[in-house]
């Protein structure tokens, strides 16, 4: 998030940056795409007006105020309407029962987590994140439901796989088998994966490095876009960052499809 921004300002500023971005010629855009996402935001404004060069050099408070002002002027003069909605992506969330899928998704949606029960069938949540909304379809992880997972993969643009890093060897082995078959499934094998090694707060939890080795991710997921992060339901800032990275991969995939 830019220094001094409220979430609402950040959202509006992001929307304005996306609009400015669209104004560029294709060749300019290609050049800018190679920069980091933060630079895209800044470059978008710098291209629009050299005066913004000065503004970004000022204090965070001044920058935030000026950015908001410029954003308002752009929208008033050019768009005469509310900023466009954040992009939406359809994501499927799988993992064994008890791995923490519902807990993490509920926390991301600012919902209470006191009375969470095992998911029967599936449940869909619109998870609002800074740069996108993820429509996440969580598939229950109980044995009776797991065998039907693949029926619900169609239409997914990304995958979140949650595992319990502190589970028994036996359960970890089952989780590994499930992740491997998901990574190789024809409807998922080309999609970005976010793998969350959850329950990291527990003393028995394996480290992310241990999970990476145990799950043989390097050889299996080579050539695919995936992220493996540790997580716990008590540290949602980290989880939001992981989802932010997934969104980045989803955006890249979108651009890739656009280029074809």
Ligand X SMILES: Nc1nc2c(ncn2[C@@H]2O[C@H](COP(=O)(O)OP(=O)(O)OP(=O)(O)O)[C@@H](O)[C@H]2O)c(=O)[nH]1
The span of 45-53, 57-65, 116-124, 125-133 binding ligand X (CB under 6 A) equals 116-124
Partner from Mg ion, ligand X, none binding residue 230, C-beta < 5-8 Å depending on class: none
Contact by Cβ (8 Å): 174, 96: yes
Q: Does 239 bind ligand X (CB under 6 A)?
A: no
116 binds ligand X (CB under 6 A): yes
Angle subtended by helix axes 26-33 and 37-48, to nearest 10? 140
Judged by CB under 6 A, which stretch of 27-35, 49-57, 96-104, 148-156 contacts ligand X? 96-104
Task: Give me the residue label for tokens 């540790």.
Answer: 230
Residue 3: which residues within 8 A CB-CB, separation 6 or more?
A: 60, 63, 64
Considering only residues 13, 52, 71, 140, which one is a binding residue for ligand X as defined by CB under 6 A? 140
**Smallest separation, CB 164 to Mg ion (Å):** 12
- 49: closest CA among 81, 89, 77, 27? 77
Instruction: Give min distance, CB of 246 to Mg ion, in A.
Output: 19
Dihedrals φ, ψ of 105, to 5°? -65, -40
- How would DSSP label each residue in 30-84? HHHHTS-HHHHHHHHHHHH-THHHHHHHS-HHHHHHHHHHHHHHHIIIII-SPPP
Describe the crossing of helices 60-74 and 7-23 by its angle, rounded to 10 degrees: 50
Q: Is there binding between residue 137 and ligand X (CB under 6 A)? A: no
Stretches 73-81, 119-127, 149-157, 195-203: which one binds Mg ion (CB under 5 A)?
Answer: 119-127
Report in angstroms how near the CB of residue 19 gets to ligand X at its nearest: 38
Helix, strand, coil % over all residues of the chain, rounded to 5: 50, 15, 35
Least separation, in Å, of the C-beta of 64 and ligand X?
34
Q: Which does 198 bind (CB under 5 to 8 A by kind): Mg ion, ligand X, none?
A: ligand X
Query: Minimal CB distance to ligand X: which residue?
Result: 100
100 appears as a binding residue in the annotation: yes
| Least distance CB 118 / ligand X (angstroms) | 3
Establish if 102 lies at the interface with Mg ion (CB under 5 A): yes
* 119 assigned ligand-binding residue: yes
The number of C-alpha atoms within 13 Å of 65 and in the hemisphere containing its C-beta is 4
List all residues 6 or more positions away from 186 whose beta carbon is below 8 Å from its beta carbon: none
Annotated binding-site residue? 201: yes
49 assigned binding-site residue: no
Nearest to 140 by CA among 183, 184, 95: 95
Residues constituting the chain: 260
Contact pick of 30, 202, 213, 255 for ligand X (by CB under 6 A): 202
**CA 159, CA 97: separation in Å to the nearest integer?**
17
Q: Determine if 141 is a binding residue for ligand X (CB under 6 A).
A: yes
Query: Which residues lie near Mg ion (CB under 5 A)?
Result: 101-102, 119
Query: Which residues lie near ligand X (CB under 6 A)?
Result: 95, 97-103, 116, 118-119, 140-142, 162, 198-199, 201-202, 232-233
Residues making up the binding site for GTP: 95-102, 141, 198-201
Residues making up the binding site for Mg(2+): 102, 119
């Amino acid at each position: 998030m830019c220094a001094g921004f409220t979430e609402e300002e950040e959202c509006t500023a992001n929307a304005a940056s996306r609009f400015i971005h669209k104004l560029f010629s294709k060749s300019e855009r290609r050049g800018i795409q190679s920069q980091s996402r933060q630079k895209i935001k800044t470059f978008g404004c710098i291209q629009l007006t050299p005066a913004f060069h000065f503004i970004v050099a000022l204090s965070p408070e001044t920058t935030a105020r000026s950015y908001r002002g410029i954003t308002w002027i752009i929208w008033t003069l050019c768009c005469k309407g509310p900023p466009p909605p954040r992009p939406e992506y359809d994501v499927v969330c799988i993992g064994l029962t008890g791995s923490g899928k519902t807990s993490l998704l509920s926390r991301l949606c600012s919902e209470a987590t006191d009375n969470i029960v095992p998911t029967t069938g599936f449940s869909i949540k619109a998870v609002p994140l800074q740069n996108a909304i993820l429509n996440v379809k969580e598939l229950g992880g109980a044995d009776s439901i797991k065998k039907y997972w693949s029926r619900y993969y169609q239409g997914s643009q990304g995958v979140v796989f949650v595992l319990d890093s502190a589970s028994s060897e036996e359960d970890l082995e089952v989780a590994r088998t499930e992740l491997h078959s998901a990574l190789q499934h024809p409807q998922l094998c080309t999609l970005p994966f976010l793998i969350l090694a959850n329950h990291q707060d527990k003393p028995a939890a394996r480290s992310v490095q241990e999970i990476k080795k145990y799950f043989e991710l390097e050889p299996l997921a080579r050539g695919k876009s995936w992220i493996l992060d540790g997580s716990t339901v008590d540290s949602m800032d980290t989880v939001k960052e992981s989802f932010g990275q997934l969104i980045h991969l989803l955006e890249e995939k979108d651009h890739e499809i656009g280029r074809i």
